[in-house]
Amino acid sequence: MDGLDVTIVNIALPHAQQDLSFTDGERQWVVTAYALAFGSLLLLFGRISDLIGRRKTLLIGLVVFAVASALGGFAPTFGVLVTARALQGAAGAMIAPAALALLSTTFTEAKDRARAFAIFGGVTGSGAAVGMILGGVLTQFFDWRWTLFVNIVIAGIAIIGAVSLIPRQFDATPRERLDLLGTLLASAGLFGVVYGFANVESMPATWVFLGGGLILLALFLWWQTKATQPLLPLLVLHDRIRGGSNLAVFIVGIGLFGAFLFLNYYLQTILHLTPLATGLAFLPMVAGLVLAVGLSTTQLYPRFGARVPIVGGMLVAAIGMAWITGIAPDSTYAAHVLGPLIVFGLGVGTTMAPAMNAGTLGVQPSDAGIASAVLNAAQQIGGSVGIALLNSIAGLVLAQQLDGGHRITESTTAAAVVHSYSVAFWCASATFAAGAIICGFVLRAHPTAITDRVR
Prior bond of 14 cis (ω within 30°): no
User: How high is the pLDDT of residue 353?
Assistant: 80
pLDDT band at 282 (very low <50, low <70, confident <90, very high): confident
Burial class (CB in 10 A: 0-12, 13-18, 19+), 432: buried
Interatomic CA distance for residues 46 and 101, integer angstroms: 9
Mean pLDDT within 5-23: 76
Least confident of 74-88, 218-232, 441-455: 441-455
User: Which of the residue ranges 72-81, 90-99, 386-395, 435-444 would you say has the lowest mean pLDDT?
Assistant: 386-395
399 or 452: which carries more pLDDT confidence? 399
User: What pLDDT is stored for residue 203 in this prediction?
Assistant: 61
pLDDT at position 316 over 90:
yes
Strand, coil or helix: 314: helix
For the chain, percent of residues with pLDDT exceeding 70: 90
Distance CA 97, CA 101 (A): 6
CA contacts within 13 A on the Cβ side of 450: 28
Higher-pLDDT residue of 84 and 244 is: 84
Q: Which of 124, 51, 129, 96 is nearest to 376 (CA)?
A: 96
Does residue 279 have a pLDDT over 80? no
Burial 180-199 (b: 16+ CB within 10 A, else e): eebbebbbbbbbbbbbbbbb
pLDDT (tens digit, 9 = 90+) per residue, 338-355? 999 999 999 988 988 888
1: buried, middle or exposed (CB in 10 Å: 19+, 13-18, 0-12)? buried
pLDDT greater at residue 244 or residue 177: 244
Give me the mean pLDDT over the 253-272 stretch. Answer: 82
Chain segment 208-262, per-residue pLDDT in tens = 888 888 899 899 888 888 877 777 777 777 777 888 888 898 888 888 877 777 8
Fill in the amino acid letter for 400. Answer: Q
- Give start and end residues of each alpha helix (H) in 326-367: 333-336, 338-359
In contact, 404 and 212? CB cutoff 8 Å: no
Listed in sequence order, the residues at least 6 apart from 48 whose beta carbon sits closer than 8 Å to its beta carbon are 57, 94, 178, 369
Instruction: Note the pLDDT of residue 449.
Output: 44
The pTM (predicted TM-score) of the whole model is 0.78
Q: Looking at the domain 4-178+231-454, which fold is it?
A: Growth Hormone; Chain: A; (1.20.1250)
DSSP character for 427?
H
Predicted confidence at residue 323, as pLDDT, reads: 94
Q: How many residues does the chain have?
A: 455
Instruction: Please name the amino acid found at residue 108.
Output: T
